[in-house]
Structure 1
Amino acid sequence: MTERVTATPAATRLIHMLKEKHGPLMFHQSGGCCDGSAPMCYPDGEFLIGDSDKLLGEIGGSPFYISEAQYEYWKHTQLIIDVVDGRGGMFSLEGPHGKRFLTRSRIFTDEERQELGQ
């Protein structure tokens, strides 16, 4: 089955390290504002999910949400969550570690879109 969101090995390692420190986690793909368009990592339940948020999948065993508006913009792509050195979103858990999560993407193939019902 084609996944709508995946994580690189480096991102998965960071997720596991953050879980050891903070417990269960959740992600939300930010749509802009203060932290730009970045995947944000929170302790599970700390970010309130609304009716317009969509569960895209899981990375590192943690749920990954995206707003309906962002989903409509990115639904033709697979989100690939990576990690790079630097300071990212000020509210995201990885920031104090000198790392930031980064969203990369690739366009789904025709076969993948068909599998996903698009």
Structure 2
Amino acid sequence: MNQIGKHAILCYPEEACGLLVGSGATNTVLEFHPTENTAKSARVYTINAREHLIIEREAENAGLEVIGVIHSHTHTEAYPSSTDVAQAPDPTWQYMIVTLKRGVPEPRNFRIINEVITETLIQVS
């Protein structure tokens, strides 16, 4: 988690983003890959498509998978916004949101399936 929090702070005032790699079967994150927010925004994020493809290929070559995404909320709570819900690309993914609202990284994790938000726990190794 330390690496994720540092990335969120480093990207401030823009939203940070990145991909979580590991085992979807066990909800275990083995690697965090920070990515560029091509939206360059404090309100939305877009993961660099080239980075996403490279990370996905590297994960597959290592017998792992992309199991989720992280992004930061710079001024709001760590809860999926309507934009986050609308843009949730994969119902099997974990969606970690890190708020910086109080000046320190505070993460929460969710699944978004058919626009239904459920808070979940994941193991970060």
Q: TM-score, normalised by structure 1?
A: 0.31
Question: Which structure shows the higher helix fraction?
Answer: 1
TM-score by structure 2 length?
0.30
Greater RCO, 1 or 2 (C-alpha within 8 Å, sep 6+)? 1
